[in-house]
């Protein structure tokens, strides 16, 4: 029973947080649009990000306290380099956009759901208390008119049953919201897997609204609700097919959907002066400013990744040189000395010479083995011959920690992408065994229309340092291909390393 009440309180809290979210979104985008051509747009964007983050923090506390679900702390995001670089940092901040999407859903979907949940429970309680105030209300249920205590008491069981049914329905809706929306507040909140639940929730909510309108009649007021629920669904679908990084096509499409929404509202309001032209002008100016900010950020990223690629290549060459000097070269020097001593003893002491030759043969085998390991560290032959999935399968077979591999790569990506993905998985698996003390590692490999995703998750002690030498080298390797590398490693909560590498469809 406690969980049912908590579900009702959580859904009803959208009446407050949804209202706050609407105010923050409206004020934030108005401020950014009005200040788009001035230097004040930078503090406006920073304040907007802070406000959205504060609302997301409140939502996480509500989910933790009422639903018993902990979305987890949000990772710290970059503040950008330089004054104008902060603009690109905000626009390219995936955490900000996930939080923004959740606040939008809480406002446009959560608020109507809250009204419906409170109305259902309130209506049931109204029936339960009808024997108290039936004299002062004119309550009719079709042909059944409540005008006596007896008739009012007959309605009480219906109210009690409806009360419990309403609470169960509210609990189910809260769980659906937990599955469909709360992942947006998780550090890696994926959006692709959420589209179907979002679609189902929108269809159900709109169907309820249409049923209510069909039973009550009147003007077609559900048009306002339909427009407001379809907008976040359309934005979600657009994000589904777009790259994860902020880009001009992504932002342009989102702005276009918002403008279409405003035109629909204009039509629902009866037409008249075409006021959506002014938001279109503001969105156009904002898009131009965002294009300049993203271009500057892109230049900075290219400079950084170019320097990182050079560092990775230099580090790799030094590693190969060190491994050759300390390994195979030392073996070959010892082999030469053994053969020289065997040559000297061949005539006078053949048995001792045979022993030296046997030692030299073992040295040759060890040198060959070290050279093979070195070549595998540079580029595994199986990666070239059989592809990434086979290379990762061979890698997991050699791992001391049990590894579960899930691969869905119908088409081979470019060779450079395959190599980077292989070394991301190899480094993550090695770290799970050497440093994290993990008992299980899960590797997921997936090919999306525009990218290759490699995700390695272990159940170790966590607390990995993102600035460590190994992870820094991986980040440089991935960023050199215009990819992204994300690390989630809370202390005691395991480690998840996720790389997304762009590649041709």
- 90 inside domain: no
Q: Is the pLDDT of residue 107 over 70?
A: yes
What pLDDT digit, counting tens, does each position of 332-347 carry? 666 676 677 776 766 6
pLDDT of residue 191: 46
Pair (359, 447) in one structural domain: no
Mean pLDDT of 394-406: 82
- 428 inside domain: yes
- 406 inside domain: yes
Q: Of 304, 324, 344, which residue sits at a domain end? A: 304
Q: Of 283, 304, 325, which residue sits at a domain end? A: 304
Q: In the numeric block, which tokens belong to residue 93?
A: 């901040």
Higher per-residue confidence, 324 vs 234: 234
Pair (399, 495) in one structural domain: yes
Pair (297, 340) in one structural domain: no
DSSP H/E element including 502 = strand 495-502
- 26 inside domain: no
The answer to whether 33 and 286 have CB atoms below 8 angstroms apart is: yes
Task: Classify the phi-psi angles of 446: left when phi > 0, otherwise alpha if psi is within -120 to 50, otherwise beta.
Answer: beta
Pair (408, 486) in one structural domain: yes
pLDDT of residue 91: 72
Lowest-confidence region among 24-38, 63-77, 139-153, 301-315: 301-315
Q: Is the pLDDT of residue 25 over 80?
A: yes
Pair (352, 417) in one structural domain: no
- 225 inside domain: no
Q: In the numeric block, which tokens belong to residue 320?
A: 């190969």
pLDDT of residue 291: 74
Pair (258, 321) in one structural domain: no
Pair (423, 493) in one structural domain: yes
3-state secondary structure 226-266: HHHHHHHHHHHHHHHCCCCCCCHHHHHHHHHHHHHHHHHHH
Q: In the numeric block, which tokens belong to residue 239?
A: 């994000």
Highest mean pLDDT among 359-363, 455-459, 489-493: 455-459
Looking at the chain, the whole-number percentage of residues with pLDDT higher than 70 is 73
Q: Is the pLDDT of residue 421 over 60?
A: yes
Residue 399 sits in a domain whose CATH number is: 3.30.565.10
Q: Please, which pLDDT band fits residue 31 given cuts at 50, 70 and 90?
A: confident
- 70 inside domain: no
pLDDT of residue 190: 45
Model pTM? 0.45
For 492, the domain range is: 386-502
- 288 inside domain: yes
CA angle centred on 478, ends 474 and 479, rounded to 5°: 115
Mean pLDDT of 310-336: 60
Measured between alpha carbons, how far is residue 289 from residues 28, 80, 244, 335, 464 in Å? 15, 17, 21, 67, 37
**Mean pLDDT in the chain?**
75
Cα within 13 Å of Cα(109), Cβ side: 26
pLDDT of residue 475: 79
Pair (415, 432) in one structural domain: yes
Question: 294-329 b/e with 16+ CB inside 10 Å = b?
Answer: bebbbebbeeebeebeeebeeeeeeeeeebeeebbe
* Whole-angstrom distance, CA of residue 338 vs CA of residue 299: 57
What pLDDT digit, counting tens, does each position of 161-202 carry? 887 888 888 888 887 777 766 767 765 444 445 566 667 667
Q: Of 378, 396, 420, which residue sits at a domain end? A: 378
> Number of structural domains, the chain?
3
pLDDT of residue 189: 45
Q: 411 phi and psi, to 5 degrees?
A: -125, 135
């Amino acid at each position: 029973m406690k969980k049912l009440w908590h579900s009702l309180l959580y859904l009803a809290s959208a009446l407050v947080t949804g209202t706050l979210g609407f105010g923050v979104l409206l004020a934030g985008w108005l401020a950014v649009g009005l200040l788009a051509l001035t230097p004040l747009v930078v503090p406006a964007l920073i304040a907007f990000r802070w406000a959205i983050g504060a609302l997301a923090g409140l939502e996480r506390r509500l989910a933790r306290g009422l639903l018993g679900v902990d979305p987890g702390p949000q990772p710290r995001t970059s503040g950008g380099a330089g004054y104008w670089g902060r603009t690109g940092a905000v626009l390219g901040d995936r955490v900000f956009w996930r939080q923004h999407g959740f606040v939008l859903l809480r406002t446009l979907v959560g608020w109507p759901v809250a009204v419906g949940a409170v109305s259902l429970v309130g209506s049931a309680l109204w029936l339960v208390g009808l024997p108290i105030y039936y004299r002062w209300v004119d309550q009719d249920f079709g042909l059944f008119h409540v005008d006596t205590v007896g008739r009012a008491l007959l309605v009480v069981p219906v109210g009690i049953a409806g009360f419990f049914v309403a609470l169960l329905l509210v609990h189910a809706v809260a769980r659906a919201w937990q599955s469909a929306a709360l992942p947006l507040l998780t550090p890696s909140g994926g959006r692709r897997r959420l589209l179907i639940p979002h679609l189902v929730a929108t269809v159900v909510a709109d169907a309820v609204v249409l049923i209510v309108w069909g039973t009550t009649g009147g003007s077609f007021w559900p048009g306002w609700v339909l427009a407001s629920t379809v907008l976040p669904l359309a934005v979600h679908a657009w994000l589904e097919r777009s790259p994860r990084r902020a880009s001009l096509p992504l932002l342009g499409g989102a702005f276009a959907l918002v403008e279409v929404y405003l035109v629909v509202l204009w039509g629902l309001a009866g037409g008249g002066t075409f006021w959506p032209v002014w938001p279109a002008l503001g969105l156009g100016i904002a898009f131009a400013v965002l294009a300049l900010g993203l271009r500057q950020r892109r230049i900075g990223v290219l400079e950084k990744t170019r320097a990182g690629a050079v560092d990775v290549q230099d580090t790799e060459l030094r590693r190969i040189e060190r491994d050759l000097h300390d390994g195979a070269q030392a073996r070959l020097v010892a082999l030469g000395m053994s053969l020289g001593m065997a040559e000297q003893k061949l005539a006078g002491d053949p048995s001792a010479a045979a022993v030296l030759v046997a030692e030299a043969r073992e040295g040759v085998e060890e040198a060959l083995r070290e050279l093979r390991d070195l070549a595998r560290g540079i580029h595994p032959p199986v990666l070239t011959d059989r592809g990434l999935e086979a290379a990762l399968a061979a890698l997991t077979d050699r791992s001391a920690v049990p590894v579960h591999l899930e691969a869905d790569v119908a088409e081979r990506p470019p060779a450079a992408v395959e190599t980077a993905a292989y070394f991301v998985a190899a480094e993550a698996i090695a770290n799970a065994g050497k440093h994290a003390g993990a008992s299980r590692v899960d590797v997921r490999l997936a090919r999306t229309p525009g990218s290759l995703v490699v995700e390695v998750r272990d159940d170790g002690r966590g607390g990995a340092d993102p600035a460590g030498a190994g992870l820094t080298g991986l980040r440089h390797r991935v960023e050199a291909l215009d990819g992204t590398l994300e690390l989630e490693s809370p202390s005691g909560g395991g480690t998840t390393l996720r790389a997304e590498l762009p590649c041709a469809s």
